[in-house]
Amino acid sequence: MQKHVDLEQFVVIDETAPLAANTHGGRAKCLQRLIRLNMPVPLTVALPFTTVRAIATGMQVDTDAILKHFGARPLVSVRPSSEDPDWGGPGAVLNIGMNDARHAEYANLLGHVAADELYARFVQTYSVEVAHLDPDSFEFDVADADALKAMLAAYEEEADEPFPQDPTRQLRDVLKSMARAWEGTSARLLRQARGAPDNAGLGLVVQRMAPGLGPRESGSGVIQFVSSETGKAQITGRYLSQAQGRDALEDAGAFYLTVDPRGKSLEEIYPEGFDKLVEFGAVCRQRLREEMQIEFTLDGGELSVLDAVRVQRSAQAGLRIAVALAEDGVISREEAVLRIPPGGLMELMHRRIDPSSPRDVLARGVAASPGAATGYLKFSSAAAQAAAAQGEPSILVRRETSPEDIRGMHAAQGVLTMRGGMTSHAAMVARGLGLPGIVGASTIHYNRKNKTITAPDGRVFGEGDLITIDGTSGSVLAGEVTLLEPALDDTFQTLLGWADEMRDIKVRANADTVEEAQMALAFAAEGIGLCRTEHMFFEENRLTVMREMIFSETTDGRAAAVERLVPMQLSDFRRLFKLLAGKPVCIRLFDPPLHEFLPQTREGMRELADALDVPLSKVERRVDALAEFNPMLGLRGVRLGVTMPEIYDAQARAIFMATVEALQEDNPVTPEIMIPLVSARREVELVQGRVEAVAAEVRAKTGVDFEYKLGVMVETPRAALRAGEIAAHATFLSFGTNDLTQMTYGLSRDDAGRFMSDYVQKGVYPEDPFHRLDLEGVGELLQLGADRGRAVRSSLTLSICGEHGGDPDAIAFCRDAGFDYVSCSPFRVPVARLAAAHLAIRDGQAQSK
Amino acid sequence: MQKHVDLEQFVVIDETAPLAANTHGGRAKCLQRLIRLNMPVPLTVALPFTTVRAIATGMQVDTDAILKHFGARPLVSVRPSSEDPDWGGPGAVLNIGMNDARHAEYANLLGHVAADELYARFVQTYSVEVAHLDPDSFEFDVADADALKAMLAAYEEEADEPFPQDPTRQLRDVLKSMARAWEGTSARLLRQARGAPDNAGLGLVVQRMAPGLGPRESGSGVIQFVSSETGKAQITGRYLSQAQGRDALEDAGAFYLTVDPRGKSLEEIYPEGFDKLVEFGAVCRQRLREEMQIEFTLDGGELSVLDAVRVQRSAQAGLRIAVALAEDGVISREEAVLRIPPGGLMELMHRRIDPSSPRDVLARGVAASPGAATGYLKFSSAAAQAAAAQGEPSILVRRETSPEDIRGMHAAQGVLTMRGGMTSHAAMVARGLGLPGIVGASTIHYNRKNKTITAPDGRVFGEGDLITIDGTSGSVLAGEVTLLEPALDDTFQTLLGWADEMRDIKVRANADTVEEAQMALAFAAEGIGLCRTEHMFFEENRLTVMREMIFSETTDGRAAAVERLVPMQLSDFRRLFKLLAGKPVCIRLFDPPLHEFLPQTREGMRELADALDVPLSKVERRVDALAEFNPMLGLRGVRLGVTMPEIYDAQARAIFMATVEALQEDNPVTPEIMIPLVSARREVELVQGRVEAVAAEVRAKTGVDFEYKLGVMVETPRAALRAGEIAAHATFLSFGTNDLTQMTYGLSRDDAGRFMSDYVQKGVYPEDPFHRLDLEGVGELLQLGADRGRAVRSSLTLSICGEHGGDPDAIAFCRDAGFDYVSCSPFRVPVARLAAAHLAIRDGQAQSK
């Protein structure tokens, strides 16, 4: 926030000048710090936000008074100084003060070439950026011999006046132009996209030019001491003789900094300057507690530091820099942890498209599961499996996926669908598998028969064509693209290890299969917060049994079919318990509607009729009978558990038998059994009664005693409202925020895609409530549920297990509300661990203030 | 509730005996009243609930002491006396005390025939009902000469003992048998179905027999003074010479009561007795404040009143009796209003199946819209319309209906579908039209091609076969059935007029069309609480325009199409405002998802492609693109209003132009515009802004100023939670409890049918929350919403407009919460008016206590 104090129109920066980033901008503040560190910073004057805002509205600033500080023949630059350098600002303007008289003096002093270039650069910038003349008329290389003359003529031609000679007017015009540019719509949108608030201010710094041109060694350069890509210590940058600004970075003739076999280096041609710069870098790192990039000039061998900014860095580099600073004792571990934005970790955990690689984007869809993958287009599970058998990468393309596609998804490198949203089958499975996925790419035309997809531009791709999908951005790309590997190195582990020591809320993972559980453990999840068991029913041999169950006419027939699944589920749970080795596992009982287990196509129905040896018409009738208008709100979850109790009985039996086996193998487990889609207390009572009976039966049969916990997944608004009476029968409540959000808003996540971006743009919803937990609405239900539950049972374990589990805001909410843990997809576990640490550190800081 | 006082084992009923209906039962209490009115009631002893309960558990009651009251040669009957006579009880046992010795005495006294019959009747009842011997062995007409001997022999044969001779034992066994019968499961279920509580008690009355047999004029009869069917004054009943109990009602030889050309009458043969009975009737009506049916005997010309019970009555008769009693000053108008159960009114408002007509039930479905209708099966809208053109009644049968079927439904007498639930299209439209409807009759197999339906028993019905549907019960019947016309007579209007004077919450109707609005006014609705405008888009010429809009590629194209609907809608609103003549009209803006306007069948799509002159593939793609996974939670309501604002603009324009016209015709109207499916404040703001702009435009164009109100339909849990900020932009909130219930439970009403009955049976939900408002969950959201809304805007108008608007519990809730009105379907308006009056009267009574 801007402080309300009277500020001078401008201030000369020295060690004690009253300056702050939130009044004069980050650049002004940083220059003062460099001065305090005794660096050779040319004389600089800072204009605060208030002055710049006044200039933009037409006020005259006393430019004479400013220029007076720069002596009789001022030559200055103006640079933007926004509060956060990342918010950007108008481009720098150099060599203000150049005019015919000064040109002649510099020609004497530095030679004609240097003087021409100084003047030409200023005329060019002034004409285009300040006077807004036609840029085409000023398209010259400022180093060209004729450029200056031509541009002075062009100015006179276009502006109907000779090029302004008065430095005071020059500076006034430059300041005004920069102040106004900041108020422009595009600049505003751009900085808001980078996180700037509505009322972000701009400061400006006016600095004595160190020209970088002249007869003795002169030039400009940029240096940093770590790699922006990896964060490892490495002197990086360029130096260009007879140059100004940041030209060195773009000029083929620039020198290396350190001795290099490929060409000349600053270290060789001017070792004293180089050593000085290295020393400056070390000072900055130690005293500014950050890796800085330094902009410098040499003028006849004299070194000036014009500016220093935080080194730009990839997520990976950021991590390494923070860890290195902490390990060197420059910053604390808390500080290192705080410096890493949790969301940035996602980038490290998946393959991604090399930012420098060219892209041919065909279409966009919903970015359903992060990561990038390249493969040959395959239109069926079978084709994807065949490709995998031959070691060929594939991308499985389907209009939408169904249980039959699971094996194809296992075999493919990525999945692309034309329909569905973030909670569609394809999206859920892909995230679970850590498989890059794009869903709802509705602008692509899918032709199942011909096995082709047609891009909006008309290009057709068939089986065997290579495509790349970027599940992080939702882009579908033609052909192959260079991919970068994930970066889960020691630094990553070190930082997250520190985070774990600091945080005070547990993090579990949602994991349905042994593979996902392995991933969860690899990311140091403290247990499984949501193991959806329905995936166990979709595997091929089990799907058949499930279908037989669905076609059973009697309760006994159903029970018999379901019983055949017990040994299969037992083996799943056996492996899970073994893997988790005592860490908690929360198992959600069967949830999906039965029609998900039936084929949707005519072919599929025909196959099923053959397999079950029943008439096709019977299959059709059953499919028809089980179809639902709103499957989300239909016969699923505990409603199935109550009306067809044999399913939950069988699941409980498998869980308890696996528990007994684990106990016998000296791996004590207390399984947590979770009932989905509860809306009334009595549902819990009924399931509780049957589960208790199954437990008693297993205890009697095996002679082994064991413990278990029974809890409820709170995902209907009513369950949250009635959490008090529900908690009387539950030892834990886990809020399923996906469904809870859908029901609270009356909004299907799968169907919201069609208008969500429009809604967010219009500010109807501040953000997509499926990405960021809606604290006002859904959050109130969470709070009500938590309070009412704990009022009845103070030992109640509370958690969330929706996809918001990895959202820092949601974690903050849960922590404040006294939740025990959050659970999220394995890949978000590190994000959650880090976000939780941030909260604990900030709380600690706030308390110690 | 049973009082906890020490009761005697039994009590002799006289004017002052300590007796109450909740300790001794209604019959005992009524007999005491008759005694107080000086009626000739034979000596009666009453056993309280506590005694009977003790007997049932094996306690011995002092039967000797009871019998002592009846003298040396006791001959008694025992009858049940439950708290409310409607709860039923075991059958009466007559002539207890008969044995060989008494038989001989009576033979001397009354003659052999009478003595035989007295004994035979007792032996028969005792053997079958008390000793539980095989009923087949006792199937005799008790008036037969051989019956007694045969049954005494049968008893000895079956029971291995002679028929018990000791009156003490006889009475003990009878009491025990009746006490136990009350505790039996079937008796318990039966009385609970009639509204008895779990712990309902049974009293018994032991009464001296007035035999009704003997040499001088003896017999028994039943008399009442109004018709049970119509409630009109009319002496009704029969008298049978030489008979006991209620035999007169079933015997062809029974006499009429009043002089009758068809046969003998009591009035003729025994005018003194008849006059006495008429006098008793008048006394009962005046003093018991009720129309009573009197059971009497003559014994040698001596009249006894054995019992009197409330006259059984149809809903219509009940209404007339109550009104007549109030008009005669016997009871107050409040009392008359309270005596009519609101739910019972429904029966009066629709055609119904004559209860005495034989029924051939083919199948059952969801009772979606009450009333009965007979017609020829028709499988398409066109066929139903053709039938209507020829004056032929029809029942429209469809798998499920779509907008294209509306005209067929207008033409048909009833509608039957195989799919859908209470909120399916067919159900909603049928209720709106007052058209009998059954939906979700899933056991019927529907064959569209052959135009047949097949009943579960295999019978096939085709186009032109007559069927009858009973939308009140959900039964589908073969052929024609006698129907009774609705009974909306003066009495009905009188009673509801009284109710209107007493109630203190307004009642509006949900009405979408002018026809429905007419119905609403006929039922004295105080305005329209919910006018769903989408029906206006489904009429044929409008449907075409809507479809053109859906296929427009541009905003302008859409706006142009929608503008063409303005004149059509204008004419709808013009008629509506004229009809309502100043009564309030709350118009809900467009709500349904667009895919409802597209054909679902291939044929339909082909026709549409032809009509719009676009390729079939384009239609298919659009249908596909608009399809939704969960339409209930999709792109509809205000979401359409925000993303395609031209629809709401056009609607607002039509509403305001109609308002201007009404003003110009001296019919001032303040339309209420309601925004559906709101989940966030900003949605309301955006619509508000556009509606205001349209209003300004219409004002400017017409030069006429007008007022309107803008409000919100609260049907998502989030809207209820955020009612405070929403109310800042709304002058009214109307809770749409249908959708709110669906979202709070996470339960689609259309899909809940498959398990709802199971759920209610298992007590998971105490009742179907779509029929009875869930006060605990949904109710809390209503309360929260109301409180938060009123906190921000104290003048906020509050109402409910879901189907619960006619549910007495919901009305009570709304009244307590300070709501301004409830709105329900036109046919439920009288129910709501009456229920509201009940609440106000009861509140008044409670306060005056």
Contact A654, A691 (CB under 8 A): no
Instruction: Say whether B49 sits in a helix, a strand or coil.
Output: helix
Binary contact (A763, B635; C-beta < 8 A): no
- Kind plus residue range of the DSSP H or E element containing A204: strand A202-208
CB-count exposure of residue B566 (10 Å: 0-12, 13-18, 19+): middle
Pick the closest to residue B780 from B750, B733, B740 (CA basis): B740
Contact status of B629 with chain A (Cβ, < 8 Å): yes
Assess whether A801 carries a catalytic annotation: yes
**Helix locations, B585-712, DSSP H:** 602-612, 616-626, 638-643, 646-664, 681-702
Region for residue B636 given its phi and psi (left: phi exceeds 0; alpha: psi -120 to 50; beta: otherwise):
beta
Say what the pLDDT of residue A426 is.
86
Sort out which chain A residues have CB atoms less than 8 A from B781's CB and list them.
717, 721
Pick the closest to residue B547 from B614, B603, B636, B641 (CA basis): B614
Distance CA A562, CA B849 (A): 61
In the predicted model, is pLDDT for residue B2 greater than 50? no
Binary contact (B777, A721; C-beta < 8 A): yes
Higher pLDDT: B204 or A189? It is: B204
Show Cβ contacts of residue B590 under 8 Å, excluding neighbours closer than 6 positions.
B533, B534, B537, B640, B641, B647, B648, B651, B676
Say what the pLDDT of residue A2 is.
40
Mean pLDDT in residue range B370-375: 92
Which backbone phi and psi does A797 adopt, to 5 degrees? -85, 130
**Rg value, chain B, Cα:** 33
Which backbone phi and psi does A464 adopt, to 5 degrees? 100, -15
Using one digit for the tens of pLDDT, what is the confidence trace for B302-354?
999 999 999 989 888 999 999 999 999 999 999 999 999 998 887 788 888 88
Which tokens in the block code for residue A315? 């997520």
Say what the pLDDT of residue B6 is.
58
Using one digit for the tens of pLDDT, what is the confidence trace for A739-768?
999 999 999 987 887 788 889 888 899 988
Sort out which chain A residues have CB atoms less than 8 A from B634's CB and list them.
747-748, 751-752
Using one digit for the tens of pLDDT, what is the confidence trace for A589-609?
999 998 888 887 888 889 888
Binary contact (B746, A739; C-beta < 8 A): yes
Say what the pLDDT of residue B617 is.
86
Which tokens in the block code for residue B241? 């010479």
Contact B439, B419 (CB under 8 A): yes
Looking at the complex, report in whole angstroms how far the Cα of residue A528 sits from the nearest Cα belonging to chain B: 26
Binary contact (A718, B778; C-beta < 8 A): yes
* Span of A727-731, A832-836, B310-314 with lowest mean pLDDT: B310-314
Using one digit for the tens of pLDDT, what is the confidence trace for A526-559?
999 999 998 778 777 788 888 888 888 788 888 8
Distance CA A154, CA A163 (A): 9
Say what the pLDDT of residue B3 is.
39
Which backbone phi and psi does B123 adopt, to 5 degrees? -60, -45
Contact status of A744 with chain B (Cβ, < 8 Å): yes
Binary contact (B777, A717; C-beta < 8 A): yes
Residue in A424, A632, A776 closest to B722 by CB: A776
How many percent of chain A have pLDDT more than 90?
A: 63
Using one digit for the tens of pLDDT, what is the confidence trace for A495-519?
999 999 999 999 999 998 888 899 8
B674: DSSP letter = E
Distance CA A529, CA A737 (A): 13
**Helix locations, A211-301, DSSP H:** 266-269, 271-283
pLDDT band at B50 (very low <50, low <70, confident <90, very high): very high
Contact B292, B281 (CB under 8 A): yes
Distance CA A564, CA A561 (A): 5
Using one digit for the tens of pLDDT, what is the confidence trace for A248-279?
777 777 888 888 888 889 999 899 999 999 99
For the entire predicted model, the pTM comes to 0.81
In the predicted model, is pLDDT for residue A239 greater than 70? yes
Higher pLDDT: A252 or A709? It is: A709
The amino acid present at B822, given as its one-letter code, is V
In the predicted model, is pLDDT for residue A3 greater than 80? no
- B564: number of CA atoms within 13 Å, CB side? 15
Pick the closest to residue A678 from A627, A734, A626, A628 (CA basis): A734
Distance CA A508, CA A829 (A): 7
Contact status of B309 with chain A (Cβ, < 8 Å): no
Sort out which chain A residues have CB atoms less than 8 A from B780's CB and list them.
721
Region for residue B449 given its phi and psi (left: phi exceeds 0; alpha: psi -120 to 50; beta: otherwise):
alpha
Residue in A420, A739, A765 closest to B680 by CB: A765
| Mean of the per-residue pLDDT values of chain B | 91
B260: DSSP letter = B
**From start to end of B694-778, where are the E strands?**
709-714, 732-735
Say what the pLDDT of residue A628 is.
84
Beta bridge partner(s), residue A204:
A47, A80
Q: Which residue has the tokens 């009355």?
A: B205
Distance CA A335, CA A846 (A): 14
Distance CA B841, CA B494 (A): 17
Pick the closest to residue B638 from B713, B563, B703, B694 (CA basis): B713
Distance CA A147, CA A188 (A): 34
In the predicted model, is pLDDT for residue A111 greater than 90? no
Distance CA A717, CA A740 (A): 6
pLDDT band at B510 (very low <50, low <70, confident <90, very high): very high
pLDDT band at B551 (very low <50, low <70, confident <90, very high): confident
Please list, residue by residue across A587-597, b when 16 or more beta carbons sit within 10 angstroms of its beta carbon and e when fewer do. Answer: bbbbbbbbbbb
Pick the closest to residue A96 from A113, A117, A77 (CA basis): A77
pLDDT band at B702 (very low <50, low <70, confident <90, very high): very high
Q: Provide the ipTM.
A: 0.80
Give the best residue of B417, B747, B772, B773 to mutate against chain A (max A CB count within 10 A): B747
Contact status of B679 with chain A (Cβ, < 8 Å): yes
Distance CA B378, CA B385 (A): 9
Binary contact (A745, B716; C-beta < 8 A): yes
Dihedral angle, C-alpha B494, B495, B498, B499, nearest 10 °: -140
Assess whether A24 carries a catalytic annotation: no
Which tokens in the block code for residue A846? 């706030």
* Span of A164-168, A753-757, B671-675 with lowest mean pLDDT: A753-757
pLDDT band at A6 (very low <50, low <70, confident <90, very high): low
Beta bridge partner(s), residue A532:
A588
Distances (CA, A) of B749 to A630, B645, B811: 9, 29, 21
Which tokens in the block code for residue B685? 């703001």
Contact status of B643 with chain A (Cβ, < 8 Å): yes
In the predicted model, is pLDDT for residue B661 greater than 90? yes
Distance CA A742, CA A802 (A): 11
Sort out which chain B residues have CB atoms less than 8 A from A602's CB and list them.
none
Contact status of A739 with chain B (Cβ, < 8 Å): yes
Contact A240, A328 (CB under 8 A): no
**Helix locations, B226-369, DSSP H:** 266-269, 271-283, 315-327, 333-338, 345-349
Using one digit for the tens of pLDDT, what is the confidence trace for A367-392?
888 899 999 999 998 899 888 888 89
In the predicted model, is pLDDT for residue B410 greater than 90? no
| DSSP secondary structure, A658-708, as one string | HHHHHHHTT-----EEEE-S--SHHHHHHHHHHHHHHHHHHHHHH------
Contact B472, B370 (CB under 8 A): yes
**Helix locations, A422-489, DSSP H:** 425-433
B256: DSSP letter = B
> Active-site residue among A531, A801, A814, A824?
A801
Which tokens in the block code for residue A321? 């820099």
Which tokens in the block code for residue B384? 């139903």
In the predicted model, is pLDDT for residue B419 greater than 50? yes
* Span of B75-79, B480-484, B640-644 with lowest mean pLDDT: B480-484
Distance CA A525, CA A541 (A): 31
Binary contact (A717, B746; C-beta < 8 A): yes
Using one digit for the tens of pLDDT, what is the confidence trace for B787-826?
999 999 999 999 999 889 988 999 999 999 999 999 998 8
- Kind plus residue range of the DSSP H or E element containing B149: helix B147-159
- Please identify among residues 413-452 of chain A the ones whose CB lies closer than 8 Å to any CB of chain B: 420, 424, 442
Mean pLDDT in residue range B520-529: 94
Smallest CA–CA distance from A757 into chain B, residue: B643
CB-count exposure of residue B707 (10 Å: 0-12, 13-18, 19+): exposed
Mean pLDDT in residue range B401-420: 86
Which tokens in the block code for residue B278? 């008429």
The amino acid present at A292, given as its one-letter code, is M
The number of residues in chain B equals 849
| Mean of the per-residue pLDDT values of chain A | 91
Using one digit for the tens of pLDDT, what is the confidence trace for A11-49?
999 999 999 999 999 999 999 999 999 999 999 999 999
Distance CA A690, CA A695 (A): 9
Sort out which chain A residues have CB atoms less than 8 A from B683's CB and list them.
764
pLDDT band at B4 (very low <50, low <70, confident <90, very high): very low
Contact A476, A365 (CB under 8 A): yes
Say what the pLDDT of residue B597 is.
87
Looking at the complex, report in whole angstroms how far the Cα of residue B746 sits from the nearest Cα belonging to chain A: 5
Please list, residue by residue across A505-528, b when 16 or more beta carbons sit within 10 angstroms of its beta carbon and e when fewer do. Answer: bbbbbbbbbeebbebbbebbbbbb
pLDDT band at A5 (very low <50, low <70, confident <90, very high): very low
Sort out which chain B residues have CB atoms less than 8 A from A686's CB and list them.
762, 764
CA A378 to chain centre: 29
Sort out which chain B residues have CB atoms less than 8 A from A752's CB and list them.
634
Contact status of B683 with chain A (Cβ, < 8 Å): yes
